[in-house]
């Protein structure tokens, strides 16, 4: 790559990121289905037609935001589930990581909570795809625990989805607590989430006691 | 009430309901934060200013939609949790009721899933209030089960919230399955939900085995 095209590439990347950032900010008080392309380009200070150098549509930008919000979480989740020892340690670590993520990226967390059931199908599907990846990754990590001996793959995925759903729910409750809750609300939500994860772990430990091995 | 004012009252009630129905339909492809008062009155065929005879604002109409969508579910949920016998029967009944409700009222279910984290605070708070009522009602019903002996109130509410969250999650997954899933997806989601509720019940049965009684 020549020096000039490298500079151009960097500038293009910067504008693309500015469009993503502006959209995320505009989405604080509205949903993607009502976000206008012109609103976004105006916020960045470029011509509306220049938008198409970066995204095919607002929908396409929304899919890129899903990738930005969730794509980077895969290694973090894998590490948490697979490397921390016993149940209690893992639960504390998971809740701590979620709380830290919500603090660091509140707008991304809000975007996912809102658009998961939002009016833009391509974005809903992108979110669903990322969550299915999380579920598969968590399921794979859970499979290597001693307590998973005798579990079928389908049951492991059922459990993994329960954990992933709880993590998402906790993230959105922590977001609400930060934005609208009274003092102590954040600790209450984190404590509640830890106990719910603990109850699920107890169910996991006794799942094969059921007649027919839980199935 | 005279005959004439009775007729007027009935007509007013009918227009109010028409506004709620029209709004719900318009919300299929957008969110409440972008819904315009004029769009709603145009769909019903009344003057924009006539809107204020029924609602103070679109936000106020949204709060009425929350009441319409969730208010009627309280007796149904109470009955399901308190009158059905053992765990398996209760789980099957709960999943069946959710599936039936999603089939009968898909637009209401979509509205709640979307606006729970949506851009209109009064509506988010109305939804949160209804869900807290559900949690309290479920917690009360669970308290009278034999397996709840020795449980503190806080743990019962923690469990109740886990059940309520799972029911909501199941409702929105069933909605997606109906709208976008392939054949068999509905049964897959219902079966998965039943197994997740079962795992939570197993956790419940063994919660007090934990050192410190789960807490």
DSSP for A23-55, please give it.
HHHHTTSS-GGG--HHHHHHHHTS-GGGGGGT-
Q: Note whether A34 and A87 are same-domain residues.
A: no
Q: Note whether A177 and A109 are same-domain residues.
A: yes
Please identify which residue in the block is written with the tokens 């208010």. B71
Angle at A116 between CA A115 and CA A119, to 5 degrees: 50
Q: What is the mean pLDDT of chain B?
A: 90
**Looking at residue B86, what is its pLDDT?**
64
CB neighbour list of residue A47: distance below 8 Å, 6 or more residues apart: A41
Q: Residue A201: its chain B contacts at CB < 8 A?
A: 203
Q: Note whether A45 and A76 are same-domain residues.
A: no
Q: Note whether A110 and A36 are same-domain residues.
A: no
Which among B79, B86, B77 is positioned nearest to B133, based on CA atoms?
B77
CA dist., res. A90 & res. A167, Å (int): 13
User: Over its length of 215 residues, how does chain A's per-residue pLDDT go in tens digits?
Assistant: 567 788 989 999 999 999 999 999 999 888 899 999 999 999 999 999 999 999 999 999 999 999 999 998 888 887 777 766 667 888 888 899 999 999 999 999 999 999 998 889 999 999 999 999 999 999 998 998 888 999 999 999 999 999 999 999 999 999 989 887 777 999 999 999 999 999 999 999 999 987 765 54
CA dist., res. A100 & res. A96, Å (int): 6
Q: Is 70 exceeded by the pLDDT of residue B165?
A: yes
Q: Residue A206: its chain B contacts at CB < 8 A?
A: 202-203, 205-206
Q: Note whether B28 and B74 are same-domain residues.
A: no
- Give alpha helix (H) positions in chain B: 3-26, 37-44, 58-70, 73-83, 87-104, 106-115, 121-143, 153-180, 185-206
- B-contacting residues in A 14-53 (Cβ below 8 Å): 28-31, 33-34
What pLDDT, in 10s, does the model give residues B88-141?
888 888 899 999 999 999 999 999 999 998 889 999 999 999 999 999 999 998
Q: Is 60 exceeded by the pLDDT of residue B41?
A: yes
CATH number of the domain within which B22 lies: 1.10.10.60
| B200 closest CB neighbour out of A114, A128, A199 | A199
Q: Note whether B36 and B140 are same-domain residues.
A: no
> How many structural domains compose chain A?
2
Q: Residue B147: its chain A contacts at CB < 8 A?
A: none
Nearest CA in chain A to B118: A114
Q: Note whether A99 and A8 are same-domain residues.
A: no
Range of the domain at B50: 3-55
Nearest CA in chain B to A162: B196
Q: How near does any CA of chain A get to the CA of B105, in Å?
A: 16
**Looking at residue B127, what is its pLDDT?**
96
Q: Would you say A200 and B203 are in contact if contact means Cβ atoms under 8 Å apart? A: yes
Nearest CA in chain B to A124: B176
Q: Cβ–Cβ of A30/B29 closer than 8 Å?
A: no
| B204 closest CB neighbour out of A128, A166, A199 | A199
Q: Is residue B215 assigned to a domain?
A: no
CA dist., res. B66 & res. B60, Å (int): 10
Q: Note whether A130 and A84 are same-domain residues.
A: yes
* Global pTM value: 0.90
**Looking at residue A84, what is its pLDDT?**
65
Which among B164, B179, B51, B182 is positioned nearest to B116, based on CA atoms?
B164
- B-contacting residues in A 86-125 (Cβ below 8 Å): 110, 113-114, 117-119, 121, 124-125
- Check if B213 contacts A (Cβ < 8 Å): no
Q: Note whether A98 and A186 are same-domain residues.
A: yes
Q: Is residue A215 assigned to a domain?
A: no
Which among A124, A200, A37, A168 is positioned nearest to B159, based on CA atoms?
A200
Q: Would you say B161 and B135 are in contact if contact means Cβ atoms under 8 Å apart? A: yes
């Amino acid at each position: 790559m020549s020096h000039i095209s490298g500079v151009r590439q960097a500038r293009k990347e910067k504008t693309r990121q500015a469009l993503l950032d502006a959209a995320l900010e505009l989405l604080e008080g509205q949903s993607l289905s009502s976000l206008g392309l012109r609103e976004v380009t105006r916020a960045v200070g470029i011509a509306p037609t220049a938008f198409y150098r970066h995204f095919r549509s607002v929908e396409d930008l929304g899919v890129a935001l899903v990738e930005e919000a969730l794509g980077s979480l895969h290694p973090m989740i894998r590490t948490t589930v697979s490397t921390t020892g016993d149940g209690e340690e893992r639960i504390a670590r998971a809740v701590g990581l979620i709380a830290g993520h919500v603090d660091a990226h509140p707008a991304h967390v809000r975007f996912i909570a809102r658009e998961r059931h939002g009016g833009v199908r391509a974005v809903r599907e992108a979110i669903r795809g990322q969550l299915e990846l999380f579920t598969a990754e968590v399921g794979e990590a859970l499979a290597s625990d001693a307590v998973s001996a005798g579990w079928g793959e389908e049951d492991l995925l059922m459990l993994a989805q329960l954990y992933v759903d709880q993590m998402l729910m906790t993230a959105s409750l922590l977001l609400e607590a930060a934005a609208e809750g009274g003092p102590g609300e954040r600790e209450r939500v984190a404590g509640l989430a830890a106990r719910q994860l603990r109850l699920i772990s107890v169910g996991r430990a006794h799942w094969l006691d059921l007649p027919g091995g839980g199935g």
